[in-house]
Chain A
Amino acid sequence: MTDTRTPLVEMKNISISFGGIHAVDNASIDLYPGEVVALLGHNGAGKSTLIKILSGAYKRDSGEILINGEPADINNPRDAKKYGIETIYQTLAVADNVDAAANLYLGRELRTPWGTLDDVAMEAKTREVMGRLNPNFQRFKEPVKALSGGQRQSVAIARAILFNARILIMDEPTAALGPQETAQVGELIKQLKKEGIGIFLISHDIHDVFDLADRVSVMKNGQVVGHARTEDVTKDEVLGMIILGKVPEKAIPGPGAMQTT
């Protein structure tokens, strides 16, 4: 991936602090269409915080976000959705007491000409999307609270792809899932990639995401250690980046790279 194409997302020199602690310090990352970038780092490295700035959950203190090369003004989750950014959160942010269809359309409900909710149409579309994603899913009428972790995850993913997301953020996408469901999500990611969607995978566990990702960006203590293409580095080298901040030869170092080499 050379720089001749315009990146789908470019976050430049982003900083945010909470009560004097620099959660994210001068971090820059980018993402191209049809690319999967894994954002790696320890718990508390600032990766979730950085990505929440992109999804509009936090407001950055400084820095710049470019979507398709144009400066984007993202102040809340609604703004982010306008730019086609969809997020699947670590905590599976689904509304527990409403059913799958209500969750898929939450905030963007289909309505009848009289302005009432068109539940039947929403359920029909939900059945279609969920059928593509998770053919075994049958519990359309139950509140999602009653569903298993994997089923909830598929509801969350269906919600994102339903609205033709161009940029998908997945925060620990497989943390809550069993092996079979993890494989399912992997297949799904490959399919979304083919459709030209850019995906950020956020994880503290390199094994979860290394095989799915085209590139990795590693964060440590709120700073970016470096970026690397997965074909250029080994898992061990990336682990070195995560733990020590040591940047291998073929990677591009960032501001958080270990200085004494």
Chain B
Amino acid sequence: MADITNTAANRARSASENPVKRFFRATEIDTRLLGMVGALLIIWIGFNILSGGLFLTPRNLWNLSVQTASVAVMATGMVLVIVTRNIDLSVGSILGFVGMIMGVLQAEILPQILGFNHPATWILALLAGLLLGAAIGALHGAIIAFLNVPSFIVTLGGLLVWRGATWFVTSGRTVAPMDATFRLMGGGTEGSIGATASWIVGALACIAIIATIVNSRKQRQRFGFPQRPMWAEYFLTAVGCALVLGAIGVVNSYPWPVAIARKYADANGIAWPDGGLFIPHGIAIPVLIAIVVGIVMTFIATRLRFGRYVFALGGNPEAAELAGIKTRWVTVKIFALMGMLCAIAAAISTARLNAATNAQGELDELYTIAAAVIGGTSLAGGMGTIAGAMLGALVMQSLQSGMVLVGIDTPFQRIVVGMVLVVAVWLDTVYRARAK
């Protein structure tokens, strides 16, 4: 009975809507996220025209993906931090410090113990970094949760402390080079998985998309909930798969540079053809890491109890406490997770630079926060998505590398990025006010 009235009401409602609205309601697409994709496309096409077709090349897009990885990884954690009405200003400094420790471990300490180029070097360095990052984050979280010091102050202190500590590790000396395997996390020709593996990843992603949609439909069926119309399901599947395969196609059409390809051909006894050897990069490992982090973090935020508590806590801390949630521990866990993500970002950026330096990650805290906020995370707490933040990171990086391509001076680049941040948040405020 309830079902009949329900569908009748739905039908009555959909009849009064215009086709566009009906489309968005049927597909349940987040219009906000769609707006961001639109903004990204405008930026891309704009820079492509301004740079005379240099922006939308496989090479630039591949580089863009690699440059985005580090901040994108940290932005996923920043979402949870900001959702609980906290802030983390120390992520750049944690990145610097953890990167320096991992650098010293693999370049100076581990070779003495294990011997040079030992296969376990990279994993030990990475594990140590992850533990250290989590420990630093947990320390910050504990001070915030149990000593009631505002997160702004604790992490502002952390910003100074860990940057200073980075200097102390080697008295300011840059540490290089990194372990050969560790370096793969930074991308480059070596640190990419190649065409075949990329297609396999793409195929797996498509299977995952289909499985998710089928499973969610089955679940809704099991309990007799209203369902999306079939055409909407097909549409979502098609768009999802097309995006994935399109991206793979792009990274697979960026070939290795001639010099490296030639060296590879010589080393493997391949005859050098006249037109040059076309060896595609495929997905860069740091990008793969960032995607996996994004999926895991989305899983944590939406499918696990911890994620549910994070959002409940951000919306109404008192209600969460009264519901029996151990809010302090949730805070500690969030910051520990943030620290761990800083360690992953540190691994990516030290590997990419092939060195650990004093200044690594400087200003990254601001880019990370900006990415999360542009991606729709509300500073008032309780709202934000992981995917949005990663997209926000991509928007920021697109602006920056676009301006480099077009040849805009560094000071002016900062002015633009700063203004874009403010305008983006203003637009978001307007959008949200209207949505109510």
Q: Is the CB of A117 within 8 A of B9?
A: no
A117 touches B303 (CB 8 A): yes
The minimal Cβ–Cβ distance linking B186 to chain A, given in whole angstroms, is: 33
Scan A77-103; emit 1 where CB is below 8 A from any B CB, else 0: 110010000010101011111100011
Is A43 part of the contact surface with B, judged by Cβ < 8 Å? Answer: no
CA distance A39 to B265 in the complex (A): 87
Query: Is B141 located at the chain interface by the 8 A CB criterion?
Result: no
Contacts of A191 in B (CB 8 A): none
Q: A95-B316, A138-B9, A145-B315 are in contact. Are A120 and B322 (CB under 8 A)?
A: no
Q: When the two chains form their complex, are residues B321 and A77 in contact, meaning their CB atoms are under 8 A apart?
A: yes
Chain B interface size band reads: 20 to 34
Evaluate contact between A107 and B383: CB separation under 8 angstroms.
Answer: no
Interface contact B220-A102, CB-CB below 8 Å: no
Give Cα distance in the complex from A107 to B311, angstroms. Answer: 12
> Does B325 make an interface contact (CB < 8 A)?
yes
A97 touches B314 (CB 8 A): yes
B residues near A95, Cβ cutoff 8 Å = 311-313, 315-316, 319-320, 323
Task: Mark interface residues in B317-332 (1 if CB within 8 Å of A CB, else 0).
Answer: 0111111110000000
Interface string of B287-319 (1 = CB under 8 A from A): 000000000000100111100100111111011
A116 CB-CB contact with B under 8 Å = yes
Q: Is B382 at the interface (CB under 8 A from chain A)? A: yes
B219 in contact (CB, < 8 A):
yes
| Residues of chain B lying within 8 A (CB to CB) of residue A120 | 219-220, 222-223, 225
Least distance between A135 CB and chain B CB atoms (Å): 8
> Is B433 on the interface with A (CB-CB < 8 A)?
no
A124 sits at the interface (CB 8 A): yes
Residue from A81, A96, A116, A143 within 8 A of B324 (CB atoms)? A81
CB distance from A192 to the nearest CB of B (A): 20
Q: How far is the CA of A234 from the CA of B315 in the complex (A)?
A: 43
A106–B9 CA distance with the chains assembled, in angstroms: 30
Closest to A87 in B: B322
B212 touches A (CB below 8 Å): no
A76 at the interface (CB under 8 A from B): yes
CB-CB nearest in chain A for B220: A120
User: Which A residues touch B319, using CB under 8 A?
Assistant: 93-96, 106
**Interface: B2 (CB within 8 A):** yes
Is B227's CB within 8 Å of the partner chain A?
A: no
- In the assembled complex, the CB of B115 is this many whole angstroms from the nearest CB of chain A, namely 41
**CB of A131 within 8 Å of the partner chain:** yes
**Within 8 Å of chain B (Cβ to Cβ): is A111?**
yes
A179 at the interface (CB under 8 A from B): no
Checking B220, B299, B316, B322 against A96 with a beta-carbon cut-off of 8 angstroms, the contacting residue is B316
Whether, in the assembled complex, B410 has its beta carbon less than 8 Å from a beta carbon of chain A, the answer is no
Given A89-B322, A95-B319, A131-B2, do A106 and B304 touch, yes or no (CB 8 Å)?
no
* Closest Cβ neighbor of B435 among chain A residues: A146
Which of B303, B318, B382 sits near A97, CB closer than 8 Å? B382
A115 within 8 Å of B by Cβ?
yes
B306 to chain A, nearest CB (A): 10
Set B313, B315, B324: member contacting A77, Cβ < 8 A: B324
When the two chains form their complex, are residues B225 and A97 in contact, meaning their CB atoms are under 8 A apart? no
Instruction: Assess the A107–B304 pair: CB atoms within 8 A.
Output: no
Would you call A97 and B315 a contact (CB within 8 A)?
Answer: yes
Are A93 and B223 CB-contacts (below 8 A) given A57-B322, A87-B322? Answer: no
Say whether B322 contacts A111, CB under 8 Å. Answer: no
Residue A109 lies at the interface, judged by CB distance under 8 Å to chain B: yes
The answer to whether A109 and B308 have CB atoms under 8 Å apart is: yes
16 extra A-B contacts, CB within 8 A, seeds A89-B322, A121-B223? A57-B322, A76-B324, A77-B323, A95-B323, A98-B311, A98-B315, A103-B312, A106-B319, A106-B323, A106-B325, A116-B304, A120-B222, A123-B223, A131-B2, A138-B6, A138-B9
